[in-house]
Amino acid sequence: MNTLHRRRVYRRPLAGLLTLLLLTVSGVALSQNNRFHVDLVIFENNDQSSRYEEDWPENLHLRYPRKWIRLDNSGNTLQKVDYMDPEFEKALKSLRLSSRYKPLLQASWQQDLNPRKKAPAILIQGGKQYGNHYELEGYIRVAVERYLHVDTNLWLSSFGSRGGNYYLPRQPLSFDEPEEEPRFVDESYESSPEYAEFLKQNPGYSPQKNQVQQTQSNDYPIDQIVIMKQQRRMRSDELHFIDHPRFGVIIKVTKIQAGAASEAGPENAAQ
């Protein structure tokens, strides 16, 4: 009995160690096979009637999240590349030849994708610049779980002379900035639950209205803002189109095989 008991005592740690090693190896393999190539173009519909097809809301509380990354700051997790997928390049060429659409932003990059809760927001700026802002701003998220997921939170602004009840948050410049802009769109925002939560998280914050008004007066008047806030589940190596009356997105996400050279373009491996 003592011998049997002694054998059991020594076998259990070995079994646990073997399980730990298998989990570690599988985790390393997963992280090495988590690189994707992303092709993206965001374009505006030039049809002026599309501006008035719907009643777009004015009281918009736009904000940026804390966890973000920029397309122009290449790093280990995200790196811009010149290569474009041939199918995407063909769609982009057709888009540029059409007088109906105006490309606002086109970018191709490689990225290590995470699950949706850990995926960083990719900050977007495109179109014509007006003062401190661009026609196209906002962010997208690209994540992978069982399927690929692309979440868009983009806003397209029409600048003019009339000016509506709008405000635009500036893009964050450093990671220690608060999640919400201290500026507000109207008096009712001061009593909103969102603003109350912001004050709760930032007890030392005390806004000065004259500074707020001065900051907003330096920006160009905004006639209209429309938002594309959508969540899409998709497969890799497929061209996807995200539609909106005022602007649209064409995106293709391709899995990169481990060891593929980034300069030569991704080797397709459809999920």
For 268, which DSSP code? Answer: P
Percent of the chain with pLDDT over 70: 59
Report, as an integer, the average pLDDT of 190-207: 62
Q: What is the pLDDT of residue 211?
A: 37
SS3 per-residue string spanning 192-213: CHHHHHHHHHCCCCCCCHHHHH
Kindly report the pTM of this predicted structure. Answer: 0.70
Query: Please, what sign has the CA dihedral across residues 108, 86, 250, 104?
Result: positive
Which residue bears the tokens 């914050």?
205
The candidate with the shortest Cα–Cα distance to 19, out of 11, 8, 7, is: 11
Which residue bears the tokens 């970018």?
107
- pLDDT band, very low/low/confident/very high, at 117 (cuts 50, 70, 90): very high
CB-based contact 230:152 (threshold 8 Å) = yes
How do residues 38-68 score in pLDDT, each as one tens digit?
A: 999 999 998 766 666 666 666 677 889 888 9
- pLDDT band, very low/low/confident/very high, at 101 (cuts 50, 70, 90): very high
Of the two residues 231 and 31, the one the predictor is more confident about is 231
**Buried (b) or exposed (e) across 252-262, using 16+ Cβ within 10 A?**
bbbbbeeebee
Query: Please, what sign has the CA dihedral across residues 90, 96, 101, 102?
Result: positive
Looking from the CA of 154 toward its CB, the CA atoms found within 13 Å total: 30
Q: Can you tell me the distance from the alpha carbon of 196 to that of 181, in angstroms, rounded to the nearest whole number?
A: 13
Among the ranges given (1-5, 22-26, 100-104), the one the predictor scored with the smallest mean pLDDT: 22-26
Phi, psi of 2 (to 5 degrees): -65, -35
Q: What is the pLDDT of residue 21?
A: 38
